[in-house]
Amino acid sequence: MFESHDRISLQLSKIYYTHPAQRRCLMVDTLSVAARSHRMSLITGRNTKPEISLRRGLHATGLRYRIHVGKLPGKPDIVFGPAKLIVFVNGCFWHGHTCPDGHIPKSNSEFWKEKICKNRIRDARNIRALRQSGWKVVVVWECRLRKNEDVIREVGRVRSRILKRQPERDRA
Ligand SMILES: [Zn+2]
C-alpha cells in the first residue's frame, strides 16, 4: 500500500520538477515515434528540432561534421574537425539565455535558478577547456533557429567562421 503510494508521489514529483513546456509531454501515455523522439530530445537536449534544422542547413551547403562527440568536453553537438570549430546548439531554458524562453518559472524558482546556474557554470568550463585545446566555439541559441530565415542566417554565420579556419586544401 505504502509502496504504491510512494511511487505515485515520486511520479508526481517528477512531473512537478519539470519545466512547464515538458509537463504535458510527460503525462501522455501513448506516444507516436515522432512524439517520443521529441520527448527524448527535451530530456537530453540533443536532436531537438532547432538543432536538426541547423544541421540540415549546414549539410546542404556541403559542410560535413560529426555530431555529439562524447570524447570532447560538453559532448559538442556539431564538430568540424579540420576547421577545429565546434557548435553548441543551446536550449534557451536549460542554458539560461537572456530571452523570454530563458525565463525562470515562478513556481519553484529557487530550484530552477540553482539548476540553471550550475548548467551555465558547466557550459563556461567546457568552452574554456575546448578553447585551451585550440578549438573555436560557436554557440547558437534555439530561439535563433525558429524561422527558416533565422536558420539560413545562423548557417551563414557558422559557415563563415569555418571558411576562415579551414585550411585551403580542405575546402570543397
Ligand atoms: Zn533564447
Contact 101, 142 (CB under 8 A): yes
Mean pLDDT, the chain, integer: 83
Q: Are residues 50 and 40 in the same domain?
A: no
Q: What pLDDT score does 54 carry?
A: 97
Q: Are residues 64 and 139 in the same domain?
A: yes
Summarize pLDDT for 95-124 with one digit per residue, the tens.
999 999 999 999 999 999 999 999 999 999
Give yes or no for residue 18 having a pLDDT over 90: no
48 C-alpha vs ligand 1 centroid, how far in Å? 14
Q: Are residues 90 and 155 in the same domain?
A: yes
Q: Are residues 40 and 90 in the same domain?
A: no
Q: Are residues 38 and 26 in the same domain?
A: yes
Give the number of domains in the chain.
2
- What is the pLDDT confidence band of residue 168, given thresholds at 50, 70 and 90? low
120 C-alpha vs ligand 1 centroid, how far in Å? 14
Domain that holds residue 104: 45-167
Summarize pLDDT for 84-102 with one digit per residue, the tens.
999 999 999 999 999 999 9
Ordered DSSP codes for 25-46: HHT-SS--HHHHHHHHHHHH--
Instruction: For residue 124, tell me if it sits in a domain.
Output: yes
Contact 138, 154 (CB under 8 A): no
Q: Are residues 34 and 73 in the same domain?
A: no
Task: Please give the distance of CA 26 from its chain centroid, rounded to a whole number.
Answer: 19
33 C-alpha vs ligand 1 centroid, how far in Å? 27
136 C-alpha vs ligand 1 centroid, how far in Å? 21
91 C-alpha vs ligand 1 centroid, how far in Å? 7
* Distances 78 to 18, 24, 59, 166 between C-alpha atoms, Å: 27, 29, 11, 15
Q: pTM for the full model? A: 0.74
